[in-house]
A = this chain, B = another copy of it.
Amino acid sequence: MTTALATRIAREYGTPAVVVDMTRVERNIARIQAACDAAGVANRPHIKTHKSPLLARLQRDAGAAGITCQKLGEAEVMADGGLDDILISYNLLGDEKVRRLGALLARVDVTAAADNEVVVSGLPLAAELAGRPLPVVIECDTGRERAGVATPAEAVALAQAIAARQGLEFAGFLFYPTENGWPQAQRFFDDAAAGVRALGLTPRIVSTGGTPNLKNLGGLRGATEHRPGTYIYNDRMQVAAGVASWDDCALQVYATVVSRAAPDRGILDAGSKVLTADQGGLDGHGLILDHPGARIARLAEEHGFLDLSRCTERPAVGDVVRIVPNHVCVVVNMVDEVLMVRGDEIVGTLPVAARGRLR
Contacts and interface: CB of A to CB of B under 8 A. Distances in A.
A70 B301 contact: yes
A20 to B, nearest CB: 16
Contacts of A303: 146-147
A82 interface: no
B262 A150 contact: yes
A115 B329 contact: no
A318 interface: yes
Given A13-B96, A146-B303, A274-B358, A260 B334 contact: no
A277 interface: yes
Given A17-B359, A302-B90, A272 B261 contact: no
Interface in A260-313: 260-262, 265, 267, 269-270, 272-274, 276-279, 300-303, 305
Contacts of A70: 301-302
Contact of A116 (B12, B14, B260, B301): B260
Contacts of A358: 16, 270, 273-274, 302, 334-335
Interface of A: 10-17, 48, 70-71, 90-91, 93-97, 100, 115-116, 118-119, 141, 145-150, 256, 258-262, 265, 267, 269-270, 272-274, 276-279, 300-303, 305, 316-318, 329-330, 333-336, 356, 358-359
Give the 8 A-B CB pairs with smallest separation, nearest first: A277-B278, A14-B359, A91-B258, A277-B277, A147-B259, A118-B317, A14-B96, A70-B302
